Chain A
């Protein structure tokens, strides 16, 4: 009994760690360049599906704030420009080079390594913060 419970727990936790496996890959870098095509990509709808995984492990406000700071600096946003967890990188004017620079800035700030597949899934500041905490936890 105990071993059965143990194995089902590990199945659940491993699927929590990789919620994106089942979903079509959608490039964050390309989505920045392509986001103004005006189309709702099917994979964007899919991408919002894993959010129920995130509700239970949403990032701490301090992490979100740090991400906001890095994003502001990279995009040289004016002080009045509001940047919150919901802010989309594309809508803030981040192009593909900005996005990769931001990811690199986050890697250095938090001492983590973000693989391309994970980087693709980042659309908002909150996404970045959540991913960061997940990666920190894994260390």
Chain B
């Protein structure tokens, strides 16, 4: 229906053809839902949303209980971030036009038994909702939503320059696995060590959120994220511990250290640098082809968006640089 231009960035400002959408959301460009092998990733930069009128429009998309939660945040910036997160997830899912009844305002959300949010579709006799999954993460300066078809998904974003108040090694000794402690201890430059810590943190968070069972079901020291060898043909940085320790495009693997889990080989990760300023991690299940052959690599599509205003595909540009995984 709407062709994509992969790898190129362009701005789409199309008026929505649907009258129903026009009334509730003047500029919401429909998008094809992700295929089983695709992952969609949408992000908003709060600093780019300045219009009070636009923020009011976002408010209009929310049911009362969500609005109350937004208003319970302390301070204008936190309220704005919370509002953008709700507006992002509602507009994103509505774009996929799962059925004609769906609009950003009409979507209902619920949680699974562990508290992970999910869409509450209205079933009917002749309609089965598609298995669309999503996950949200935000910092004060970036709000993101990942979407998959038929796979649990977890995402996490952090500012690259985020300060860690505790000593990094003390922190990881307390909370991470032994392998990860060894990995980070081997990095001598404190600035690089902090960045590698943040990358690991986002990957671990994304995994736990994909599992959807809560932090205590998967304590961080019960699994280890490992970086596998770089794939043939990918750019490999020097092994010097003072330089980037995580090879571009190297495989990211998770290893379970306790007996309770879960087939860790079925999880797939991507690590990105967004807008030059943030790390973003995505975790989802690999799509095992029906013939049982080796899984297809994750295809990632990234949009930078201002909901109801504009969208820009940024995958393949400097705004969304893949720094790990996706093999």
Whether A73 and B165, one on each chain, are in contact in the complex, defined by CB atoms closer than 8 angstroms, is yes
* A67 CA to B109 CA, complexed, in Å: 34
Within 8 A of B (CB), among A57-78: 73-74
Whether B166 and A104, one on each chain, are in contact in the complex, defined by CB atoms closer than 8 angstroms, is yes
> Number of contact residues on B: which range applies?
35 or more
* A101 CA to B170 CA, complexed, in Å: 11
Known A-B contacts A27-B114, A101-B166, A104-B171; A35 and B201 likewise in contact (beta carbons under 8 Å)? no
* A120 CA to B216 CA, complexed, in Å: 7
Q: Which residues on the A side are within 8 Å of B216 (C-beta)?
A: 25, 27, 116-117, 119-120
Q: What is the chain B residue whose CB lies nearest that of A92?
A: B74
Whether A120 and B65, one on each chain, are in contact in the complex, defined by CB atoms closer than 8 angstroms, is no
Known A-B contacts A28-B215, A97-B158; A36 and B85 likewise in contact (beta carbons under 8 Å)? yes
Whether B65 and A39, one on each chain, are in contact in the complex, defined by CB atoms closer than 8 angstroms, is yes
Whether B74 and A91, one on each chain, are in contact in the complex, defined by CB atoms closer than 8 angstroms, is yes
Q: Which residues on the B side are within 8 Å of A7 (C-beta)?
A: none
Q: Which residues on the A side are within 8 Å of B63 (C-beta)?
A: 38
The segment from B39-47, B132-140, B294-302, B309-317 that touches chain A is B132-140
* A27 CA to B162 CA, complexed, in Å: 23
> Number of contact residues on A: which range applies?
35 or more
CB distance from B159 to the nearest CB of A (A): 10
* A84 CA to B117 CA, complexed, in Å: 29
Q: What is the chain A residue whose CB lies nearest that of B221?
A: A116
Within 8 A of B (CB), among A1-57: 24-31, 33-41, 43
Q: Please tell me if A124 contacts chain B, counting CB pairs below 8 Å.
A: no
* A87 CA to B73 CA, complexed, in Å: 10
Q: Please tell me if A111 contacts chain B, counting CB pairs below 8 Å.
A: no
Within 8 A of B (CB), among A84-138: 87-88, 91-93, 95-97, 100-101, 104-105, 107, 116-117, 119-120
Whether B115 and A33, one on each chain, are in contact in the complex, defined by CB atoms closer than 8 angstroms, is no
Q: Please tell me if B209 contacts chain A, counting CB pairs below 8 Å.
A: yes
Q: What is the chain B residue whose CB lies nearest that of A83?
A: B74
Q: Please tell me if B69 contacts chain A, counting CB pairs below 8 Å.
A: yes
Q: Please tell me if B235 contacts chain A, counting CB pairs below 8 Å.
A: no
Q: What is the chain B residue whose CB lies nearest that of A29?
A: B215
* A38 CA to B216 CA, complexed, in Å: 22
Known A-B contacts A91-B72, A92-B74; A43 and B115 likewise in contact (beta carbons under 8 Å)? yes
Q: Which residues on the B side are within 8 Å of A37 (C-beta)?
A: 109, 111, 117, 136
Q: What is the chain A residue whose CB lies nearest that of B216?
A: A116
* A74 CA to B163 CA, complexed, in Å: 10
Q: Which residues on the A side are within 8 Å of B174 (C-beta)?
A: 104, 107
5 pairs across A/B with beta carbons < 8 Å? A25-B114, A38-B65, A91-B78, A107-B174, A120-B216
Chain A residues with a Cβ under 8 A of chain B: 24-31, 33-41, 43, 73-74, 81, 87-88, 91-93, 95-97, 100-101, 104-105, 107, 116-117, 119-120
Q: 8 closest Cβ contacts across the A-B interface?
A: A38-B66, A27-B214, A29-B215, A27-B215, A37-B117, A116-B216, A36-B82, A93-B78
Q: Can you add 13 more A-B contacts, CB < 8 Å, to A33-B136, A38-B66, A92-B74?
A: A26-B115, A27-B216, A29-B208, A30-B215, A36-B70, A93-B78, A93-B81, A101-B166, A101-B171, A104-B166, A116-B216, A116-B219, A120-B214
